[in-house]
């Protein structure tokens, strides 16, 4: 038994976590472990001020994320899975800038750069150094229509690639209730991709099937979301994961949620499990079975 007297003693995975060599880096991973965490899904965070523009620059940027994961494994002693891809904000701003400066030629160059970043991420996945492409998506802010439309087009093409390559995607989308999940599921259906392998990063606490459909939600669980999660967790299609979206940004300490949050929220849920009719299957699903089914088991 791993759920005993309101305490969870099993695995605890943060499904979306960033690290920065100029931030807390290993100290942040150590804080996660000391709070009870056992595994991280380390998502590549681009240099928003100077994003890569060549294949070699993409490789160098991704390699640094892979090397940070290795250092966490060696020094902190926890499991780390790596997710690599072009952040939708970095791409969208690059596209908008290049289009305004160079017109259609600039737009085409931005598209080529996006495709280069995806292809480079796939190389790392095929080498066994990463497990998924992400975070990819579309603007979650007010963006020009041409930027939003192109982002949608590239997202659907990336889904098609994910189907062909049998690679999961972590997605960063706008917050628009169940319409966002519906859009994603419709895209996946068009290209023949099982929506199970679409992981909606920064998902809200409502994980009911009526909200998320067949998409896999990765819930960014603040204190105010616990009651909603408890109310809807039995109504989900196949389960959910938890995340912090910890940024490790020295300019914004603790953003978005701190590194200790997922272990703390997991224990909060454990203390409420019995009175809400929850058993340890829920905890194994979000912290072991679902990550293994989507990303593959950690060796």
Q: What is the mean pLDDT of residues 205-233?
A: 97
Mean pLDDT of the chain: 93
Closest of 8, 42, 22 to residue 259, by C-alpha: 42
pLDDT at position 98 over 90: no
pLDDT band at 99 (very low <50, low <70, confident <90, very high): low
**Pair 80, 102: CB distance under 8 Å:** no
CATH fold of the domain at 9-294: TIM Barrel (3.20.20)
As to burial, measured by CB atoms within 10 angstroms (0-12 exposed, 13-18 middle, 19+ buried), residue 4 is exposed
**Pair 143, 99: CB distance under 8 Å:** no
pLDDT at position 93 over 80: no
Q: Mind listing the pLDDT tens digit for each residue in 231-260?
A: 999 999 999 999 999 999 988 887 899 999
| φ/ψ bin of 198: left (φ > 0), alpha (ψ from -120 to 50), beta (otherwise) | beta
Q: What is the mean pLDDT of residues 124-145?
A: 90
pLDDT band at 262 (very low <50, low <70, confident <90, very high): very high
Q: What is the mean pLDDT of residues 212-231?
A: 96
Percent of the chain scoring above 70 in pLDDT:
98
Give the domain ranges of the chain: 9-294
pLDDT band at 207 (very low <50, low <70, confident <90, very high): very high
Show the 3-state SS of the chain: CCEECCEECCCCEEEEECCCCCCCCHHHHHHHHHCCCCEEEEECCCCCCCCCCCHHHHHHHHHHHHHHHHHHHHHHCCEEEEEECCCHHHHHHHHHHHHHHHHHHHHHHHHHHHHHHHHHHHHHHHCCCCCEEEEEECCCCCCCHHHHHHHHHHHHHHHHHHHHHCCCEEEECCCECHHHHHHHHHHHHHHCCCHHHEEEEEECCCCCHHHHCCCEEEEECCHHHHHHHHHHHHHCCCCCEEECCECCCCCCCCCCCCCCHHHHHHHHHHHHHHHHCCCHHHHHHHHHHHHHHHHCCCC
pLDDT at position 95 over 80: no
pLDDT at position 22 over 90: yes
Q: So what's the pLDDT on residue 231?
A: 97
pTM of the model: 0.96
Half-sphere exposure of 284 (CA within 13 A, CB side): 7
Q: What is the mean pLDDT of residues 76-104?
A: 83
Q: What is the mean pLDDT of residues 189-196?
A: 98
Q: What is the mean pLDDT of residues 165-193?
A: 95
């Amino acid at each position: 038994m791993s759920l005993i007297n309101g305490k969870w003693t099993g695995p605890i995975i943060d499904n979306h976590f960033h690290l920065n060599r100029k931030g807390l880096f290993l100290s942040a991973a150590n804080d996660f472990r000391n709070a009870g965490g056992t595994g991280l899904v380390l998502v590549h965070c681009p240099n928003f001020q100077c994003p890569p523009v060549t294949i070699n620059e993409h490789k160098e940027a991704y390699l640094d994320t892979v090397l940070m994961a290795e250092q966490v494994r060696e020094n902190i002693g926890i499991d780390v899975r790596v997710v690599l891809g072009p952040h939708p904000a970095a791409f969208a701003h690059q596209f908008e800038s290049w289009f305004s400066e160079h017109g259609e030629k600039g737009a085409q160059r931005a598209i080529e750069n996006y495709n280069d970043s995806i292809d480079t991420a796939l190389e790392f996945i095929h080498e066994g150094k990463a497990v998924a492409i992400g975070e990819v998506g579309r603007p979650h802010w007010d963006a020009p229509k041409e930027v939003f439309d192109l982002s949608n087009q590239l997202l659907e093409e990336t889904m098609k690639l994910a189907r062909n390559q049998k690679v999961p995607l972590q997605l960063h989308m706008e917050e628009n209730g169940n319409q966002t999940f519906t859009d994603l599921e419709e895209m996946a259906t068009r290209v023949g991709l099982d929506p199970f392998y679409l992981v909606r990063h920064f998902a809200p606490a409502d994980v009911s099937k009526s909200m998320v459909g067949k998409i896999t939600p990765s819930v960014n669980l603040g204190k105010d979301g616990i009651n909603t999660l408890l109310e809807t967790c039995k109504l989900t299609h196949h389960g959910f994961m938890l995340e912090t979206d910890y940024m490790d940004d020295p300019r914004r300490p603790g953003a978005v949620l701190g590194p200790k949050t997922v272990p703390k929220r997991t224990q909060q849920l454990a203390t409420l499990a019995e009175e809400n009719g929850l058993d340890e299957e829920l905890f194994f699903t979000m912290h072991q079975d679902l990550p293994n089914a989507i990303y593959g088991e950690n060796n």
